[in-house]
Structure 1
Amino acid sequence: MGLDPVDLTKEFVGIKSVSRWSNAEISDLVEERMKTCGFEVERLSFTDQNGELKVSLVGKKGEGKGGIGFFSHTDTVPGQEQDWDAYQGIVEGDKLYGRGSCDMKGPLACTMIAAASVSADQLKHPIIIVATADEEVGGKGAHQVTHESEILESIRPEFGVVAEPTSLTPVYSHKGSAHIVVTAHGEAAHTSTGLGQSANFLIAPFLAEMAELAKEIKHDERFLNHEYNPPSNGFNMVITDYDTKQNVSAARSTCHICFRTMPNDHSEALVEELVNKARGYGYEVTSSMSKPYYLDPENAVVQLASKFTGGKKPETVPYGTDAIH
């Protein structure tokens, strides 16, 4: 259709779509290019908690049911300020540098152009291309597509490929995640008054327990899975007292705990243990968990991917993708 993968990637990179902003502009361009490639396009959207419009696209070429879907996302991580313009798409040698060039505007461009090379009347089953919003910040776009897309519901692709950058190594599994948010409530007061109660002191005993637990988890086989590298769950904790000044007792202190879930790693039991500990102290607590994605490495689509990538052995990865949705 006259599209070049490098040029199309540069077009996509040239539009800023960091997750904290709207991705409507790049979605408009992707939709236009999908239609150029002969796709029928479905558009889904939502407004995030900051009032930003987020858009996901589902493109279909061909008729019937089943087929294969290729899944990408249009948002990017923010990165750090560079000495160069990260949104120009600079080509040096055989590499293209730019924000999101690998993760994952380049893969999106390549799957679109590959699909464009086949006419609809040549297809026995349809091709689906999905470009989601907010993959980098929780995957709400993929969740919406999974639950609301009329195209996906009517076709139900038999196979799916998430086009994340893996150096063309087939990946059959990745970790999920668990999140626990624990908040202690104190009473704010200027420290000179002798009044108030610092939420930081209230939450301190729980934090001490978490510090000890983090050491244990790294070596406890119940929480390890050696099919992954690393085999541990990356147990982490972040704390905030909402920028309370040093001469004021904190009214709130919140601890965010996150770890990666793996098959047969007792994740559910660990979440339950943490929640019960927090409630035992009288804290406010919420939790959520997503299961890992796992496909039998002997599955036909995994083996086919291995064949077409030069016989590379399928692997696992420690991060997460939209596949969990």
Structure 2
Amino acid sequence: MQRIRHCQRVNALDPISLTEELVAFDTISCNTNRAMCDRIVSLLEPLGGVVRLQAQADAPEQVNLIARFGPEGAGGLALAGHTDTVPFDDSMRATNVPSREGAKLYGRGTCDMKGAIAAMLDATARIEHSRLKKPLWLLFTFQEEIGCLGAKHLVRAAPVPVEHCIIGEPTGLRPVTRHKGYVTAILKFHGRPCHSSDPDAGASAIHAASRAVDALVSLGEQWKAASAGQGSDLLPPWTTLNVGLFQGGAARNVVPEHAQLSLEIRPMPGLDSKQLLGEAEAVAREAAKSVRGVTLEFHVDDVDTPLDTPEDAEIVRWLIEATGNAASTVPFYTEGPTFQAMGASPCVCGPGEIAQAHRVDEWVELDALMAASDLYRDAISEFCT
């Protein structure tokens, strides 16, 4: 049960209308988010915020928005979210043309997660900024959906010395403290091509890759068995392994020279991601050796650590009390570990449910947006005044 109280709405921006306005910006990850961030700047600067846009040198069309209210220095609270969305097309209900129906707002990004950003902006507008004794940060990032690229750039190039962080991914306003990591690798197998009528004259990259898949699947089963009986509220309660892409070959009458696998590992909190990658590489190399003449390149693509915020962290204890919801877990990845690497204590807590996101009819409840704004406003009062 949520114990969110509805505060007096002074200087409000209206999170529902603002969500509609933000959804109208087409910020699919491959598109620029600058126009949307420019609009947010125009809302924040009149409130007295110190606002800047941080772009990558090689991709100036993608920007992070970093805003501070209150004094300089360490501590305080960050409200964080990403500005990009997954793709959509005109055959869907969830496009960049939002629509209300009853108690729901439909549109791409309503749930994941422009609604949360609108609630954060509304909460910021409703605070008397002269009362801020610690800094309030707003951190709105680019390209979260394709690897948390904006958050990683922010932490590398302009980390902020914030103590507490709320990330507004859709959790039904339940405080989330734990989720698995996300590790990816590309395996490239190089063989020797020849006419398929005499296969022994060549070396099949696909045969080697197929044996590597079998070895990797077996390794995943070993990891699953090793987790048996340990108990966890993460679902499934073990480190998962998936070979999601298998490419190779040039023609059916040619022994294939090349093959490629895409590997994904989702490590449980507390496990060493690099060790897991080492185990995966070892079994893949051993399998590849069984096909004479084939070599393997193992390229690590991403190593994103799990989220594991202690439940006795101040931000978590406050969110549990404020929402009336126990700490929980989610099966998806967030920017939480990236901000944790910056020194912040992160907790994921936002309006809507993940089952409502990434759908052809993505939606969020209107009441959830209002409740989120009230929660974020109370968090600002708690940690910044």
| Bin of the TM-score, shorter chain as denominator length | 0.7 to 0.9
Q: Once the 2 structures are TM-superposed, how far is the Cα of residue 22 of structure 1 from its aligned partner?
A: 2.3
1:320 matches 2:333: yes
User: Corresponding residue for 1:137?
Assistant: 146
- Choose which of 3, 8, 11 in structure 1 pairs with 2:21: 11
SS in 1 for 2:145: helix
1:113 matches 2:119: no
User: Corresponding residue for 1:264?
Assistant: 270
User: Corresponding residue for 2:71?
Assistant: 63
Question: For 1:202 and 1:262, how far apart are their aligned partners in 2?
Answer: 29
For residues 267-299 of structure 1, give each alpha carbon's deviation from its aligned partner in whole angstroms, at most 9, with x where no partner exists.
Answer: 443321111233443310022422211111122
Question: For 2:36 and 2:198, how far apart are their aligned partners in 1?
Answer: 54
User: Is this contact kept in 2: 1:23–1:74, CA < 8 A?
Assistant: yes
Q: Once the 2 structures are TM-superposed, how far is the Cα of residue 21 of structure 1 from its aligned partner?
A: 2.2
User: Corresponding residue for 1:24?
Assistant: 34
Gaps of 5+ in 1: none
- Choose which of 86, 98, 110 in structure 2 pairs with 1:77: 86
1:179 matches 2:192: no
For residues 301-324 of structure 1, give each alpha carbon's deviation from its aligned partner in whole angstroms, at most 9, with x where no partner exists.
Answer: 111111111x21111222211111
- Closer, same or farther in 2 for the Cα pair 1:189/1:87, shift >3 Å? farther
1:45 matches 2:55: yes
- Taking CA–CA contacts closer than 8 Å with sequence separation of 6 or more, which of the two structures ends up with the larger relative contact order? 2
Question: For 1:247 and 1:24, how far apart are their aligned partners in 2?
Answer: 50
User: Corresponding residue for 1:87?
Assistant: 96
1:221 matches 2:227: yes
SS in 2 for 1:219: helix
User: Is this contact kept in 2: 1:180–1:257, CA < 8 A?
Assistant: yes
Kindly provide the amino acid, as one letter, of the partner of residue 23 in structure 1.
N
User: Corresponding residue for 1:159?
Assistant: 164
- Choose which of 197, 204, 207 in structure 1 pairs with 2:210: 204
Question: For 1:19 and 1:224, how far apart are their aligned partners in 2?
Answer: 38
Kindly provide the amino acid, as one letter, of the partner of residue 102 in structure 2.
G
1:303 matches 2:317: yes
Kindly provide the amino acid, as one letter, of the partner of residue 313 in structure 1.
A
User: Is this contact kept in 1: 2:191–2:258, CA < 8 A?
Assistant: yes
How many aligned positions are there? Answer: 318
For residues 131-186 of structure 1, give each alpha carbon's deviation from its aligned partner in whole angstroms, at most 9, with x where no partner exists.
Answer: 1011111111101111222xx44xx1121111111001011122111222211013
SS in 2 for 1:183: strand
Q: Once the 2 structures are TM-superposed, how far is the Cα of residue 262 of structure 1 from its aligned partner?
A: 1.8
User: Is this contact kept in 1: 2:182–2:264, CA < 8 A?
Assistant: yes
Question: For 1:93 and 1:79, how far apart are their aligned partners in 2?
Answer: 23
Question: For 1:242 and 1:221, how far apart are their aligned partners in 2?
Answer: 34
Q: Once the 2 structures are TM-superposed, how far is the Cα of residue 266 of structure 1 from its aligned partner?
A: 5.5
Larger mean Cα displacement after TM superposition, 170-179 or 132-141: 170-179
- Closer, same or farther in 2 for the Cα pair 1:248/1:92, shift >3 Å? farther
User: Corresponding residue for 1:169?
Assistant: 174
- Closer, same or farther in 2 for the Cα pair 1:34/1:69, shift >3 Å? same
Kindly provide the amino acid, as one letter, of the partner of residue 177 in structure 1.
Y
SS in 1 for 2:237: coil
Question: For 2:191 and 2:89, how far apart are their aligned partners in 1?
Answer: 36
- Closer, same or farther in 2 for the Cα pair 1:85/1:107, shift >3 Å? closer
- Closer, same or farther in 2 for the Cα pair 1:198/1:30, shift >3 Å? farther
TM-score when scaled to structure 1? 0.88
SS in 2 for 1:21: coil
Kindly provide the amino acid, as one letter, of the partner of residue 260 in structure 2.
T
Q: Once the 2 structures are TM-superposed, how far is the Cα of residue 260 of structure 1 from its aligned partner?
A: 1.1
Question: For 1:222 and 1:290, how far apart are their aligned partners in 2?
Answer: 24
Question: For 1:36 and 1:187, how far apart are their aligned partners in 2?
Answer: 65
Question: For 1:246 and 1:179, how far apart are their aligned partners in 2?
Answer: 29
User: Corresponding residue for 1:122?
Assistant: 131
User: Is this contact kept in 1: 2:216–2:284, CA < 8 A?
Assistant: no
- Closer, same or farther in 2 for the Cα pair 1:243/1:142, shift >3 Å? farther
Q: Once the 2 structures are TM-superposed, how far is the Cα of residue 196 of structure 1 from its aligned partner?
A: 5.7
Kindly provide the amino acid, as one letter, of the partner of residue 305 in structure 2.
K
Question: For 1:263 and 1:84, how far apart are their aligned partners in 2?
Answer: 37
Q: Once the 2 structures are TM-superposed, how far is the Cα of residue 200 of structure 1 from its aligned partner?
A: 1.1
User: Corresponding residue for 2:256?
Assistant: 250
- Closer, same or farther in 2 for the Cα pair 1:222/1:196, shift >3 Å? same
Identity %: 28
Question: For 1:189 and 1:162, how far apart are their aligned partners in 2?
Answer: 54
Question: For 2:228 and 2:278, how far apart are their aligned partners in 1?
Answer: 15
Kindly provide the amino acid, as one letter, of the partner of residue 303 in structure 1.
R
- Closer, same or farther in 2 for the Cα pair 1:147/1:157, shift >3 Å? same
RMSD value, Cα: 2.6
Q: Once the 2 structures are TM-superposed, how far is the Cα of residue 129 of structure 1 from its aligned partner?
A: 0.4
Question: For 1:12 and 1:244, how far apart are their aligned partners in 2?
Answer: 46
User: Is this contact kept in 2: 1:177–1:292, CA < 8 A?
Assistant: yes
- Closer, same or farther in 2 for the Cα pair 1:79/1:226, shift >3 Å? farther
User: Is this contact kept in 2: 1:222–1:265, CA < 8 A?
Assistant: no
User: Corresponding residue for 2:355?
Assistant: none
Larger mean Cα displacement after TM superposition, 116-125 or 276-285: 276-285
User: Is this contact kept in 2: 1:72–1:130, CA < 8 A?
Assistant: yes
